[in-house]
């Protein structure tokens, strides 16, 4: 029962093998795995894709941006232009064109309404049409770098270079420290420009021949301007005559705070009032001065001055100090020297002690006011100035007196003037002498109106100290003698100067 034949076993094995072969033959084939999408990346001058089968492409420039459009790659290379790469599927990427653009650096490529555009560094956009490529469809490529590029936005115009004005203007009027000319922006003038002011004169050459010559008056700067007029600033003491003309220039300004021009052909009238308190006694006084001068057009000045004009009233005694001189001086821009003659009071009598009288004793002691002790003397003055009158300068007046048949040193008044701005000065002043006065001060002088020429006004304020001294007659019994008196204290000064 358990015995099997060998042929039957073989038949069963063969049947099972055939069934397995049939099952394997009927299994359907597997679907192919899709390839990844082709993506491109830009790294400097190397263009690479994400596929291992693609070899990186070396570009002829360093790329700044990349645009993939259809089968084309557009690489913006700044000043090196635009590189166009053919990237057909299944093919190796190759460079189609390298386009240079002289209008500016290519910083990008973008698509708008089915058309490619270049982005230029000069803030303008242009279509790529005709210059490589103009893509209206996915497969349309036009190669022609030489074709003109159509502008979408107008190129920003460069600002026009300012033109040098060539017009010659006329001076209409002078207003304090400025002149008004009859041309403005319409003639090409602009605020801040330098303007040469000049006059033309006719000069005879003989033989009925004449020639015009120009005299430069000043070089100023335009402060304010309209279409048809301009205001030109002048420096201190710069005067422009009637009939002068004006034109643009690159010359430096002629204004100077250290050595301005000489003011001439005018009157100068000034005063300085210096009240002071008498310390150590009950009293007060002032050490003042008054001056009038005429400066001729030529190098000459005539000055009349009261220096000092002082009065003191105090319990110790009253003092009157006066001196008056008229000075004629050679006067230029940077130098003045002259001599003067006048009168001076003498309060400090050199070598005087006391004198006695024959009056009998017992008389009470009496004192005079001090005025009766003032004596007279002939005054001779030296006047010197080193430096410009309204610039950096040193002024000095020396007095000598003829008193009781001998010459004596009468005193000195000196001023150091230092410019602080174009129209203000610091003054260091002091002086004194036999007339019976002394003072010292620091002052500020300011040009209040005008430019230093005619119709100008200067104002001076000061702080310092001042005093008076002299002698008074004292009667004491049988004796009559002179007693010295003197007092002084803090002073404040105020002065004005007109030019007419």
CATH number at residue 450: 2.40.160.40
As for how many domains the chain has, the answer is 3
Q: What is the pLDDT of residue 110?
A: 85
Q: What is the pLDDT of residue 157?
A: 58
Same domain (yes/no): 175, 278:
no
Same domain (yes/no): 356, 450:
yes
Same domain (yes/no): 119, 241:
no
Examine the fold and report which residue of 127, 143, 160 is the final residue of a domain before the chain moves on.
Answer: 127
Same domain (yes/no): 291, 235:
no
* Vertex 150: Cα angle to 121 and 59 (nearest 5): 50
Residue 200 scores a pLDDT above 60: yes
Same domain (yes/no): 270, 237:
no
Q: Can you give the C-alpha Rg of the chain in angstroms?
A: 52
Residue 244 scores a pLDDT above 60: yes
Which stretch of 86-100, 254-268, 416-430, 461-475 has the lowest confidence by average pLDDT?
Answer: 86-100
* Vertex 329: Cα angle to 328 and 333 (nearest 5): 145
Q: What is the pLDDT of residue 203?
A: 85
> Is 258 domain-assigned?
no
Same domain (yes/no): 317, 439:
yes
Same domain (yes/no): 79, 203:
no
What domain range includes position 51? 40-127
The sheet with strand 57-58 has its strands ordered as: 40-43, 46-49, 57-58
Which stretch of 103-112, 185-194, 289-298 has the lowest confidence by average pLDDT?
Answer: 103-112
What tokens does 113 get?
């309404």
What percentage of the chain reaches a pLDDT higher than 90? 49
Q: How many Cα atoms within 13 Å fall on the side-chain side of residue 14?
A: 6
Give the DSSP H/E element, type plus range, for residue 8: helix 6-25
Across residues 449-472, what is the average pLDDT?
A: 93
Q: How many CB atoms lie within 10 A of CB 153?
A: 11
> Is 110 domain-assigned?
yes
> Is 135 domain-assigned?
no
Same domain (yes/no): 278, 233:
no
Residue 360 scores a pLDDT above 70: no
Q: What is the pLDDT of residue 161?
A: 61
Same domain (yes/no): 447, 311:
yes
What contacts 292, CB < 8 A, 6 or more positions away? 267, 268, 269, 270, 303, 304, 305
Residue 475 scores a pLDDT above 80: no
End-to-end CA gap in the chain: 164
CA gap 99, 76 in Å, rounded: 10
Any idea which residue has 């209008």 for tokens?
Answer: 103
Residue 106 scores a pLDDT above 90: no
Same domain (yes/no): 230, 281:
no
> Is 223 domain-assigned?
yes
Q: What is the DSSP letter of 461?
A: E
Q: What is the pLDDT of residue 62?
A: 87
CA gap 15, 91 in Å, rounded: 53
Is there a contact between 80 and 63 (Cβ–Cβ < 8 Å)?
Answer: no
Q: What is the pLDDT of residue 429?
A: 98
What percentage of the chain reaches a pLDDT higher than 70? 80
CA gap 81, 69 in Å, rounded: 18
Across residues 278-300, what is the average pLDDT?
A: 96
* Vertex 383: Cα angle to 377 and 387 (nearest 5): 160
What is the pTM (predicted TM-score) of this model? 0.63
What tokens does 385 get?
């100035």
Residue 164 scores a pLDDT above 70: yes
Q: What is the maximal distance between C-alpha atoms in the chain?
A: 202
Residue 128 scores a pLDDT above 90: no
Residue 236 scores a pLDDT above 80: yes
What tokens does 368 get?
């005079």
Q: How many helices (H) and strands (E) does the chain have?
A: 1, 31
Residue 31 scores a pLDDT above 70: no
Assign 211 a pLDDT band (cuts: 50, 70, 90).
Answer: confident
Supply the mean pLDDT for the chain: 83
> Is 309 domain-assigned?
yes
Which stretch of 191-200, 270-279, 366-375 has the lowest confidence by average pLDDT?
Answer: 366-375
Q: How many CB atoms lie within 10 A of CB 197?
A: 24
According to DSSP, the residues that pair with 492 across neighbouring strands are 463
């Amino acid at each position: 029962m358990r015995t099997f034949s060998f042929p039957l076993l073989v038949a069963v094995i063969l049947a099972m093998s055939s069934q397995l072969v049939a099952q394997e033959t009927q299994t359907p084939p597997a679907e192919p795995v899709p390839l990844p999408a082709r993506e491109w990346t830009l790294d400097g001058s190397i263009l690479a894709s994400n596929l291992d089968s693609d070899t990186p492409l070396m570009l002829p420039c360093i790329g700044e941006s990349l645009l993939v459009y259809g089968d084309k790659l557009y690489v913006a290379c700044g000043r090196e232009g635009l590189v166009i790469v053919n990237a057909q599927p299944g093919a190796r990427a190759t460079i189609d064109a390298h386009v240079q653009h002289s209008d500016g650096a290519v910083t990008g490529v973008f698509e708008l309404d089915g058309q490619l555009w270049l982005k230029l560094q000069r803030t303008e956009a242009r279509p790529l049409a005709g210059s490589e490529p103009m893509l209206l469809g996915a497969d349309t490529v036009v190669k022609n770098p030489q074709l003109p590029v159509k502008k979408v936005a107008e190129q920003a115009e460069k600002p026009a270079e300012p033109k040098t004005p060539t017009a010659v203007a006329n001076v209409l009027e002078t207003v304090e420290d400025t002149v008004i000319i009859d041309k403005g922006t319409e003639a090409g003038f602009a605020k801040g420009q330098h303007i040469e002011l000049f006059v033309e004169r006719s000069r005879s050459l003989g033989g009925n021949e004449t020639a015009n010559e120009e005299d430069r008056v000043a070089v100023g700067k335009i402060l304010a301007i309209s279409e048809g007029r301009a205001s030109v600033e002048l420096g201190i003491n710069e005067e422009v005559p009637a009939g002068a003309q004006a034109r643009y220039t690159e010359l430096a300004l002629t204004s100077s705070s250290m050595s301005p021009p000489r003011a001439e052909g005018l009157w100068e009238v000034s005063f300085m009032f210096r009240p002071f308190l008498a310390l150590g006694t009950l009293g007060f006084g002032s050490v003042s001065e008054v001056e009038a001068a005429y400066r001729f057009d030529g190098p000459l000045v005539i000055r009349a001055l009261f220096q000092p004009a002082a009065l003191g009233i105090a319990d110790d005694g009253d003092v009157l100090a006066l001196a008056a001189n008229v000075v004629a001086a050679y006067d230029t821009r940077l130098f003045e020297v002259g001599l003067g003659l006048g009168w001076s009071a003498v309060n400090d009598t050199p070598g005087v002690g006391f004198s006695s009288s024959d009056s009998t004793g017992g008389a009470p002691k009496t004192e005079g006011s001090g005025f009766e002790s003032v004596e007279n003397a002939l005054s001779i003055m030296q006047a010197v100035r080193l430096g410009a009158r309204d610039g950096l300068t040193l002024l000095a007046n020396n007095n000598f007196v003829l008193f009781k048949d001998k010459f004596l040193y009468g005193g000195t008044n000196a001023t150091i003037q230092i410019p602080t701005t174009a129209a203000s000065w610091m003054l260091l002043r002091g002086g004194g002498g036999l007339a019976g006065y002394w003072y010292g001060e620091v002052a500020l002088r300011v040009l209040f109106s005008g430019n230093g020429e005619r119709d100008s006004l200067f104002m001076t304020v000061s702080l310092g100290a001042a005093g008076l001294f002299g002698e008074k007659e004292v009667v004491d019994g049988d004796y009559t003698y002179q007693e010295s008196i003197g007092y002084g204290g803090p002073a404040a000064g105020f002065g004005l100067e007109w030019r007419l």
